[in-house]
Structure 1
Amino acid sequence: MITYELMVLLRIMPKSELVSTLKRTAETLFDKGGIIRKLENLGTRDMPYKTSVHGMVYNRASYFLFEFNAPPLAIRDLLDEYGRDIDIIRRRIYKKIVPEHQECTLHEELQPAPYRKNVQELVEQARKLDKPKFNYNTGLDYYPFQK
């Protein structure tokens, strides 16, 4: 299954209601076949701009980040169900991008730029873009007509 991140902005509420809302959000994920890998509380803060949802205007929210695995077909259903929840101000699901592991050694970095492998690859790419020189089919290595 693919790893996703669910960013949820919840309205400001007492801790007991907040816990029940998070449980309800997690149970919805489980019902759709998802597995929660991590839940992170990012705190309560001001929103970048006012948001009007379910007839109320909000300018502060509690931010939570769920990292989960789920089948791709369940994502649309999750967004639809979270959109109907009155405690959720905003919700976004992103596909998590795993950064590539790049090996870097000190020996390579200390070499002068022309000797580094990645610089040599860039030079080769630039040479492929050079225009080919025009061949006049005269056998000479210069243009004889002074043009």
Structure 2
Amino acid sequence: MPSYELSLVLRQLPRPELISVIKRTAESIFNKGGIIRKLENLGARPLPHKVSEHGVVHKEGTYFSIFFDTAPTKILDLKEEFGRDIDIIRRNIYKVEESAEFKCTLHDEMLPPAYRKDVQEIIDIAKRKHKPKYNYNSGLDYYPFQK
């Protein structure tokens, strides 16, 4: 199953109600066959601008980030369900891409730039893109396309 990140902005609530909103959100992920990997509380802060959601204007919110795995077909159902929850101001679900493995050794880094593999690849690309310029010594005393 692919990994996803759910970014939530909840309205300002007392702690017990905030816990119940997070439990509701987690249960909806579980009910859709998802697995929660990590839950982060990013704290309460003022919103960047006034946000009107469910007929109420909000100026502050509590930010949460939930990392979970689920089937791609369930994402739209989750978005719809979170959209109906009046305690959630903003919600976005992003697919988490796995980062490529980067291997680096001290020996390669200590080489002069001209001898490094990545620099040599860049030089080869530049040589392939090199276009021949107009040959001004073509027997004419002037450039024929100039007015």
TM superposition score normalised by structure 1: 0.89
Structure 1 gaps of 5+ residues are: 135-142
Q: Kindly report which structure 2 residues correspond to 1:55-134, keeping only aligned pairs within 5 A, or say none.
A: 55-131=55-131
Q: What is the identity, as a one-letter code, of the residue corresponding to 1:26?
A: A
Q: Hey, what's the Cα distance between the residues in 2 that align with 1:146 and 1:44?
A: 75
Q: Hey, what's the Cα distance between the residues in 2 that align with 1:19 and 1:83?
A: 18
The change in CA–CA distance for 1:110 and 1:55 in structure 2 (over 3 A counts) is same
Q: What secondary structure is seen at the aligned counterpart in 2 of 1:108? A: helix
Which digits, 9 at most, give the CA deviation of each residue in 1:24-51, with x for residues without a partner?
0001111111110000100111111110
Percent identity of equivalent pairs? 51
Give the C-alpha shift of residue 133 in structure 1.
Answer: 7.6
Q: What is the identity, as a one-letter code, of the residue corresponding to 1:72?
A: P
Q: What secondary structure is seen at the aligned counterpart in 2 of 1:93? A: strand
Q: What secondary structure is seen at the aligned counterpart in 1 of 2:72? A: coil
Give the C-alpha shift of residue 146 in structure 1.
Answer: 6.4
Structure 2 gaps of 5+ residues are: 142-147
Give the C-alpha shift of residue 97 in structure 1.
Answer: 2.0
Q: Hey, what's the Cα distance between the residues in 2 that align with 1:2 and 1:144?
A: 62
Residue 40 (structure 1) aligns with: 40
Q: What is the identity, as a one-letter code, of the residue corresponding to 2:113?
A: A
Give the C-alpha shift of residue 54 in structure 1.
Answer: 0.6
Residue 138 (structure 1) aligns with: none
